[in-house]
Amino acid sequence: MRRIFSGVQPSGNLHLGNYLGAIRNWARLQSDYDCVYCVVDLHAITMPQDPAELRANTREVAAGLIAAGIDPETNILFNQSQVAEHAQLAWIFNCVARLGWLNRMTQFKEKAGKHRENATVGLYAYPTLMAADILLYKATHVPVGEDQKQHLELARDIAQAFNSMFAIDLFPAPEPLIFGQAARVMSLRDGSRKMSKSEASDFSRINMTDDADAIAAKIRKARTDPEPLPGDEAGLDGRPEAANLIGIHAALADTTVAEVCARFAGQPFSTFKAALTELAVAELGPIGAEMKRLAGDPGHVDGLLHAGAARARALARPILDEVSKAVGFLMP
């Protein structure tokens, strides 16, 4: 069996990094795998969230996944907090994972910043919940952007440690699926930083709901360097902003960085940016429009998430029962 699990946090706007690094691939994988896709609201609360905004973002992210082509009938699409088994398995994994393993997680260090003593225990234990998400369905493959690779390695370690602790072959070792040149989309303002929902400037990212004017303005203002575009990939060395924009172009056009370089060799950024804007608007325009249409019918989205949660629970329950039995919990 080949089963996919992946998740996205409802902690702000979905952006081009989420789309190219993850969501577009999720939609493409749905014909070849049995897919479970989750809006991870339990992960979102590891950082402070306004409750009304969290609800709105959960609906908006679900709408974004549907608008990007994920079919909630053939796949399972739900929000994490509706399936309590995630939290139950995460607790068990808290009793498997070692402090030393979690201490190595770079995302915690980045998010906790200088005030580590003040970070929540939830933020620290974030990766054990992520391992629970995946392993609760015995998922074999996990499509993610590059930034989640370390968390996935931890999920593999937890799967293995659980199996050996209880002398049972219960969990598979889930494999990351990381695709192509858009696995790490960078900020439009600074080619050394990841494009992210938490970056203060909205001009650092293209949101999936941005209209054509906003997309054009952001690409026009995107940071570049004074040189014309290089004719080959090697010419992108030491030019992070150019490399990022060309990578985005290649991903949107479903081609390679080498081909984009060959096409725009020696041309100024203005010509290239016009072509990139056209591509981005063509791809994101219809998705943003569909997201807005779905936003007008929140009851419909809630209904889909509710139905998805029931289907997710039906898969998760027997697996959590196997886990409980292995651990030695007294069962009804």
For ligand TYM, the closer CB: 7 or 191: 7
In the annotation, is 292 catalytic?
no
Which residue from 60, 133, 210, 241 is in contact with ligand TYM, where contact means CB under 6 A?
A: 133
Give residues 209-268 in contact with ligand TYM (rule: CB under 6 A): none
Q: Is 6 in the site for ligand TYM (CB under 6 A)?
A: yes
Q: Is 184 in the site for ligand TYM (CB under 6 A)?
A: yes
Q: Is 134 in the site for ligand TYM (CB under 6 A)?
A: yes
Q: Is 27 in the site for ligand TYM (CB under 6 A)?
A: no
- Convert 87-122 to b/e letters by CB count within 10 Å (16 or more is b): ebbbebbbebbeeebbeebeebeebbeeeeeebeee
Which residue from 148, 209, 224, 244 is in contact with ligand TYM, where contact means CB under 6 A?
A: 148
Q: Is 43 in the site for ligand TYM (CB under 6 A)?
A: yes
Query: Across the chain, which distance is largest between two alpha carbons, in Å?
Result: 71
Tell me the two tokens of residue 224. Answer: 């570049």
For ligand TYM, the closer CB: 28 or 300: 28
| Selected catalytic residue, list 111, 149, 292, 325 | 111
Q: Is 188 in the site for ligand TYM (CB under 6 A)?
A: no
Q: Is residue 67 within 8 Å of 287, Cβ to Cβ? A: yes
Tell me the two tokens of residue 188. Answer: 């439009």
Least distance (Å) from ligand TYM to the CB of residue 24? 10
Q: Is 105 in the site for ligand TYM (CB under 6 A)?
A: no
In the annotation, is 111 catalytic?
yes
Q: Is 22 in the site for ligand TYM (CB under 6 A)?
A: yes
Q: Is residue 2 within 8 Å of 141, Cβ to Cβ? A: yes
Which alpha helices (DSSP H) does the chain contain, by range?
Answer: 16-18, 24-29, 41-44, 51-67, 85-94, 99-103, 106-112, 121-135, 149-165, 212-221, 240-252, 257-264, 269-295, 298-327
Least distance (Å) from ligand TYM to the CB of residue 331? 27
CA distances from 305 to 39, 101, 199, 312, 316 (A): 9, 33, 28, 10, 16
For ligand TYM, the closer CB: 183 or 301: 183
Burial class (CB in 10 A: 0-12, 13-18, 19+), 149: middle
Tell me the two tokens of residue 39. Answer: 């809006």
| Selected catalytic residue, list 138, 194, 218, 273 | 194
In the annotation, is 114 catalytic?
no
CB nearest ligand TYM: which residue?
Answer: 21
Q: Which residues bind ligand TYM (CB under 6 A)?
A: 5-9, 17-18, 21-22, 40, 43, 130, 133-134, 142, 144-145, 147-148, 151, 183-185, 194-195
Active site residues: 111, 194, 197
